[in-house]
Amino acid sequence: MADTAAGDGNGIEGIDVPRVTEWLVANIDGVKPPLDFELIAGGRSNLTFRVTDAAGRDLVLRRPPISHVLPTAHDMGREFRIISALQDTPVPVAPSLGFCEDESVNQRPFYVMGYVEGHILRDAATAEKVLDEKGRRRAGESIAEVMAAIHAVDVDQVGLGELGRREGYIERQLKRWYSQFQQSAALLNRTVPLVDEVHDFLAARIPEQGPAAIVHGDYRLDNTMLGDDGNVKAVLDWEICTLGDPLADVGLLMVYWAEKGDNNPALGIAPTAVDGFPNRAELREIYAAASGRDVSHLDFYVAFGYWKLACILEGVYSRYASGAGGGDRSGFEGMGEQVRRLAESAKAAAATL
C-alpha cells in the first residue's frame, strides 16, 4: 500500500509533516520549527528531502520509496550505520545525525544527516558550468583517490566487519543478477543469448579475490558531492554497500566513466567526456597508485560491470512492460535494445581477458 502523508498545506508526499517535525525537534539538537521539506531526489530508489528549519539550518532526510518496497530492500538502518561508521575515517560522508525506526512517525524508517553544500554532476552542461578544466581534472583524481580510501577502511576497526560475507563476492553477484535477469526475461517472453554467453564466460574465469573491503556497489561521479575545487566532499547513496571484492567498484566506475568519442555511454549521458576529466586509463592508474592494488585483471571487472548493468536494465524493462514502472515511460521502448548493447560491451571487454 502506498504511504500517505499528513500535509502542512504543501502536499509533501512521503512526509508526515507534524510527526516528523516533532521527532526532529526532539532528537536533533538545535532544530527550530517550523520546517520546510523539499524533495531533492526520488523515483524508484530512496527519497531524499532537504529540510530547512526556521533559523535557516539545512538537514537531509532519507526514506524508502513511496511504494513497491521489498522487505529486505531500502534498509535505512543499514545506510545510517555505514555513514556513521565512516565519520572518523578519510572517507568523506555527510554528518550522521539521527535514525528513526518507529514507523508510527512516518510509516517508514528514515535517517537524518547534515546537509553538504556542493555540486552533483549529472550531465555535461553542469560539468562545464560549475568546474573549469582544472577543477574537472581534480574531480577525476579525487574520485579515484576517495575510492581507494573506501577500500582501505579497516572494516573491523570501524564496526562494519559483519556488514556482509567477505569471500566469494563475484560468484554471489553472478548468481544473484543472473537469476534476476532470467526472471525478467521470462516475464518479457524474450531471450538475450549474449547475456547468457557472457555469464558463462565470466563464471569460468573469476579472478582470485584478495582481502575483502567495503564495496560501495554504485560508485560513480553523480553519487558524489563535489566542492568548487573538484574535490569530493561527500560520497552518497550507500544503499547497496556490502563487503567483498573492491575491484568490482573500480570496474563499474570504468563502465560509467564515458570518454570523448564513446558511441554508447552506459548511462546515456557523458559528463566525464567533457575536456579536463582524466580518461579511463588515467583513472585506473590514479587508483592503482593511491590504493597499491594490482589492477592487472581489471578488464574482467569491467566486463562484469557491463553485464551487471544489462541484467539490472532487463529488470527495469520488465517492470515497465508490466505497467509497474509508473506513468513516466520515457525511454521505455529503447530499453530492450540497450540491454543488448550493454551485453555487447561486456563481451568486448571480456574478449581482452
Mean pLDDT of 312-333: 70
Residues 35/27, Cβ–Cβ less than 8 Å: no
Q: What is the pLDDT of residue 43?
A: 54
C-alpha cell at 157: 576497526
Q: What is the layout of strands, in order, in the sheet containing 110-114? A: 36-41, 47-52, 58-63, 110-114, 96-100
C-alpha cell at 267: 548511462
Percent of the chain with pLDDT over 90: 78
Q: How confident is the model at residue 69 (pLDDT cuts 50, 70, 90)?
A: very low
Q: What is the pLDDT of residue 322?
A: 74
- Mean pLDDT lowest among 10-14, 139-143, 273-277: 10-14
Q: What is the pLDDT of residue 72?
A: 47
pLDDT of 19 above 90: yes
pLDDT of 47 above 60: yes
32 Cβ neighbours under 8 A, 6+ residues apart: 25, 53, 54, 55, 57
- Mean pLDDT lowest among 17-26, 71-80, 210-219, 298-307: 71-80
Residues 49/37, Cβ–Cβ less than 8 Å: yes
Residue 202: phi and psi, rounded to 5, are -70, -40
pLDDT of 315 above 60: yes
Within a 13 Å sphere around the CA of 77, how many CA atoms are in the beta-carbon half? Answer: 8
| Domain boundaries, given as residue ranges, for the chain | 17-114, 124-350
Mean pLDDT of 269-296: 95
Tens-digit pLDDT profile for residues 203-212? 999 999 989 9
User: What's the longest Cα–Cα distance across the chain?
Assistant: 59
Q: Which of 76, 77, 51 is nearest to 64 (CA)?
A: 76
In sign, the C-alpha dihedral spanning 25, 28, 31, 33 is negative
Integer-rounded Cα radius of gyration of the chain? 21
pLDDT of 250 above 70: yes
Mean pLDDT of 12-40: 95
How far apart, in Å, are the Cα atoms of 198 and each of 134, 162, 168? 39, 31, 19
d(CA 219, CA 246): 11
Tens-digit pLDDT profile for residues 138-174? 999 999 999 999 999 999 999 999 999 999 999 999 9
DSSP 322-341: TTTT-S--TTGGGHHHHHHH
Tens-digit pLDDT profile for residues 91-101? 999 999 999 99
Q: How confident is the model at residue 318 (pLDDT cuts 50, 70, 90)?
A: confident
- Inter-residue long-range contacts of 262-269, CB under 8 Å, 24+ positions, other chains counted: 264/341, 264/345, 266/306, 266/309, 266/342, 266/345, 267/220, 268/331, 268/338, 269/122, 269/123, 269/124
Q: How many CB atoms lie under 10 A from the CB of residue 162?
A: 10
Q: What is the pLDDT of residue 74?
A: 63
197 Cβ neighbours under 8 A, 6+ residues apart: 347
pLDDT of 245 above 60: yes
Q: How confident is the model at residue 130 (pLDDT cuts 50, 70, 90)?
A: very high
C-alpha cell at 179: 537469476
Question: Higher model confidence: residue 266 or residue 166?
Answer: 166
Q: What is the pLDDT of residue 329?
A: 54
Residues 259/284, Cβ–Cβ less than 8 Å: no
Residues 14/39, Cβ–Cβ less than 8 Å: yes
Residue indicated by cell numbers 573492491:
246
Q: What is the architecture of the domain spanning 17-114?
A: 2-Layer Sandwich (3.30)
End-to-end CA distance of the chain: 47
DSSP designation for 243: E
- Mean pLDDT lowest among 241-245, 261-265, 268-272, 314-318: 261-265
**What mean pLDDT value characterizes the chain?**
90
d(CA 92, CA 148): 12
Q: What is the architecture of the domain spanning 124-350?
A: Alpha-Beta Complex (3.90)
Within a 13 Å sphere around the CA of 245, how many CA atoms are in the beta-carbon half? Answer: 26
